[in-house]
Amino acid sequence: MATVWVRIASLGTWLSALVIAAVAVASMIGGHGVFALGVGVMLLIYAALLGLVGWAAHRGVSWSDGLLIASSVLHIAVVVSLLRSGAPIWFLALLLIAAAVLVSAVVLTLGRRRTD
């Protein structure tokens, strides 16, 4: 059963990393100058770090638990804020992905605490 939670957490995190990387590339090619380039680079670094967290979760590394929880809470806050400011309704899919990662990470964390 734990492998299902691991898969949900790692795949959801990797999917979030891909979405953020796509936003980074769109920011860089949007033609808004050096500032947009800087934003894009920072988003690419964040996407790479998310990919690392997803990899660590997939491998069952315990230090990934807190990072999964923190990043999913951050993603939920960002998507809710975007939805409240008029983002397209398909952003709800991003909200569901972040919520699934959050639930999976909490279940994994609680499971590890019980075995310690």
Residue range 45-69: mean pLDDT, rounded: 95
User: Looking at residue 31, what is its pLDDT?
Assistant: 78
- Lookup: tokens for 52: 């690392």
Distance CA 87, CA 21 (A): 18
**Of 62 and 106, which is predicted with more confidence?**
106
Name which of 43, 110, 46, 102 is nearest 70 in CA terms: 102
Query: What average pLDDT is seen over the chain?
Result: 92
Burial of 82 from C-beta contacts in 10 A (0-12 / 13-18 / 19+): middle
* Residues 98 and 9 sit within 8 Å (Cβ to Cβ): no
User: Looking at residue 115, what is its pLDDT?
Assistant: 64
Q: 2 pLDDT band (50/70/90 cuts)?
A: low
Residue range 5-32: mean pLDDT, rounded: 94
